[in-house]
Amino acid sequence: MNKLNLEQEFKITLYLKKIQDFNKNQTKKYLLQILKSMMIKDNIIKYFVRKSMN
């Protein structure tokens, strides 16, 4: 259940390559950007789940 699929593993590899040359500050900014997009995605999913239950 808590395993990543092949596409997700690939995305992780891409993220690792992208941040490999980042300095600490760049890495923090990038992390915040990713977290924000994940929260937005979570909000969208919650919205549609609530909407489908009504």
pLDDT single digits (tens) 35-49: 999 999 999 999 999
Q: Is the pLDDT of residue 1 over 80?
A: no
The residues, ordered by sequence, that sit 6+ positions from 53 with a Cβ below 8 Å of its Cβ are: none
Single out the residue of 2, 3, 38, 42 nearest to residue 30, CA to CA. Answer: 38
Structure tokens at 30: 């990038």
Q: Is the pLDDT of residue 54 over 90?
A: no
Tens of pLDDT along 4-36? Answer: 999 999 999 999 998 999 999 999 999 999 999
Tokens 């760049």, residue located: 26
